[in-house]
Each structure stands twice: as structure tokens, then as C-alpha cells.
Amino acid sequence: MLTNPSQIILRNRELVDNHSVLILNYESDLLPIELLETASSVCALALDYHHYLQLENHQHQNLQLHFGHQLPHDERFDTVIIYYPKAKSLTPYLINLAGYHLKPEGQLIITGENKGGIKSITKQMPDYFSAPMKLDNARHCLLYCSELQQVAPQINIEDWTSRYQLTTPQGDITICNLVGVFSEKRLDAGTKLLLEHLPKMTGKVLDFGCGAGVISAAILKAQPTLDIDCIDINAMALEACRLTMQANDIQANIFASNGLSQTNSLYDGIISNPPFHDGLSATTQIAKTFVQDSALKLKKRGLFYIVANRHLPYADIIETHFKQVNVKAETNHYKIYSNIT
């Protein structure tokens, strides 16, 4: 089943007839496979690790699949397709990436849902592209097309990075954040509560949904010998976390994982200010799977320590998998759950 943005691309597939095509920020479906019936070759870059895994087993000699914030090569394409991102601030970065990988006078196609902000694309297009033209309007989505008119700037990740200082209970740290990664440029109330009450950690620790690395950087500031795995599903978050660790001269293992599926260790501690959104929609399934998998991934006497919004149903899920619920601290908005296996 194709998403609506993918369906509008497919119904305009003649635009990529015999083209080499790059798809940026592709969604959780098989559109890259479908386009091989028209395009000469397809290269697809996922910024969401779950989307990458959806296609990973679909091998084809004319299909390249990558996960990350950039491609691992400098290949140029006849056409680049961008799925308009849910984080609007990521759009200029994707356009720059598209321009860098387009051949001269190459074609840029942008698609997205009407409610997702794609109508603002006409104001976001840089001078090295022609003014975008609306080609189609169907399935609550829009399709725009533009042409590369000048050489696009090479991607320099520092140009898309914001750096700021945070004061935490463990000490001052530098945060490096990238476009498209949530950040308030201050210590958010939930993370602050977690760090204020976090006990001394030992051994190997997992930071689930690490984002730009705020929690891990704070902990490693106070306990630099800890062995911490930082995992996330978002490529921009993982790169931001890497830059944060580098800026603070600390070490962590940073890698993509769909839930806890790609972790291969048992942990002395699992910490998190866990995400509960899948795209623009809130979901309890993330919480359920996270708690269930955490109970299996903790060593005996391992510490499960998270902060969550009060309205989320963590208590029932934790009781199911840890047999009891321990609330370490709480405010009007957050609770800290602290359980031991």
C-alpha cells in the first residue's frame, strides 16, 4: 500500500521515464521499487531507519538503498524526488542536498500532504532552482516541479548545526543540534527532572531515543567511564548526537535502532525521555514496545529509569512487564518511573 504522496508520484511516473532518480526522505512503502518500471535506476536515502528497514530486503540491480543524513557518494542524477518533511526546518537542507546531487538542468520533484506545509515550498526554494510549478493536486497532496539552474552549494553539516550551552545538574555541556531535530535550546522540564533524580549509573547503559544527546552528554560529564549506547531512529538526530559528543570530548556508541531491535547487549541501565510520536501522530505502541523490550534487555538488578508525560499510560505497561510501578518523582506534567529487574 502506497502512501498518498507516493501515489501522486506514481500517477506522474512519466516525469522520470528512463531517468536516474534519487529519492530523499522516502516514506514507509515500496515506491522506489514501483518506479523501477519507469526509471532507469533508483537511489533512495531514508532519514527514518524504520523506512529503510521496510525496503532493506528488496534487492534489485538498479536499486541503491541508504540510511543517513547524506549519501556516501557524489553521484549526480537526472531527477531528485523529495518527500516534504514533517519538520519544516529540514526542507532547506533536503533542497540543498537535492541540488548538490542533480545534474545541470536536472529536475526536482517535491510532494507532500496539503496539511503538512508543502504549500510554502514556493517561498523556500533557493535561487539556484527555478520557481516551483504545481503539476498535480490529488489524494490530499500536491506535486511541484523545479529545475536546477545554477550549481548548488556543497553540503557542509556545520552550516545546518546550532550550538548552545546547557546547564544540567551534572554540569555544563555543549549541545549541537541539526535542523529537523526537536530542540528548545534549553533543558526541557522532563529531562531536567530526570537528571535531577538520576542515581549513579554503573556498567553499560542504553539511552533510548537519544535525540541530540542531551541526557547522555550530561551523564558522561559526571561519569565519563560509563559505556553508553545512544540509539535513535532519526538520521539527523544521530548525527547531532555524534557532534554533541565530539563537542564535549566524550565517547559514546551511537547507532540507529528500530526500537531496541538493533541492540546486541544486555544493559545495567536503560534511561530515556522516550518519544511517543510517530510522525505527526501520538501513539502508545512506541511506549508498549519500549517497556516490553527493556524488561528483556536489562541484566538482573538492572535499572529502568525514564521520564514521561503524566497522561501517557506507562504505569499499566510497566506493571505488566516489571510487576510493580515505582514513581521516583513527579510534577504536574511529568513522572519519573524507576524500576529494577
Domain ranges across the chain: 4-155, 158-340
* Cα(276)–Cα(268) distance, integer angstroms: 24
Q: What is the pLDDT along the chain (341 residues), one digit of tens a residue?
A: 899 999 999 999 999 999 999 999 999 999 999 999 999 999 999 999 999 999 988 888 999 999 999 999 999 999 999 999 999 999 999 999 999 999 999 999 999 999 999 999 999 999 999 999 999 999 999 999 999 999 999 999 999 999 999 999 999 999 999 999 987 788 999 999 999 999 999 999 999 999 999 999 999 999 999 999 999 999 999 999 999 999 999 999 999 999 999 999 999 999 999 876 544 344 567 788 999 999 999 999 999 999 999 888 889 999 999 999 999 999 999 999 999 88
Helix (H, G, I), strand (E, B) or coil at 2: coil
Give the residue from 309, 261, 303 showing the smallest Cα distance to 287. Answer: 309
Q: Strand runs (DSSP E) across the chain, as ranges?
A: 20-24, 41-46, 63-67, 77-83, 102-113, 133-138, 141-147, 161-168, 171-178, 204-208, 227-232, 253-256, 267-272, 277-278, 281-282, 298-309, 327-330, 334-340
**Dihedral Cα 285, 288, 292, 294, nearest 10 deg:** 90
pLDDT of residue 283: 55
Residue 9 amino acid letter: I
Residue 165 buriedness (CB in 10 A; 0-12 / 13-18 / 19+): exposed
Helix (H, G, I), strand (E, B) or coil at 297: helix
CA R_g for the chain: 21
Q: Are strands 77-83 and 63-67 parallel, antiparallel or unpaired?
A: unpaired
Contacts of residue 31, Cβ cutoff 8 Å, sequence gap at least 6: 2, 3, 6, 9, 10, 23
* Cα(45)–Cα(114) distance, integer angstroms: 23
Chain centre distance of CA 108 = 23
CATH code, 158-340: 3.40.50.150
Give the residue from 109, 113, 87, 86 showing the smallest Cα distance to 98. Answer: 109
Contacts of residue 122, Cβ cutoff 8 Å, sequence gap at least 6: 131, 132, 144
* pTM, 2 dp: 0.94
pLDDT of residue 183: 77
Other CB atoms within 10 Å distance of the CB of residue 258: 16
pLDDT of residue 298: 97
Chain centre distance of CA 170 = 26
Sign of CA dihedral 109, 98, 185, 294: positive
Query: Residue 73 to residues 64, 66, 194, 326: CA-CA distances in angstroms?
Result: 11, 11, 40, 49
pLDDT of residue 340: 87
* Cα(248)–Cα(237) distance, integer angstroms: 17
* Cα(337)–Cα(330) distance, integer angstroms: 9
pLDDT of residue 286: 79
* Cα(323)–Cα(158) distance, integer angstroms: 46
Give the residue from 328, 338, 259 showing the smallest Cα distance to 297. Answer: 259
Question: Which CATH class for the 4-155 domain?
Answer: alpha beta
Q: Spell 61-87 as b/e; 16+ CB within 10 A means b.
A: eebbbebbbebeeeeebbbbbbbbbbe
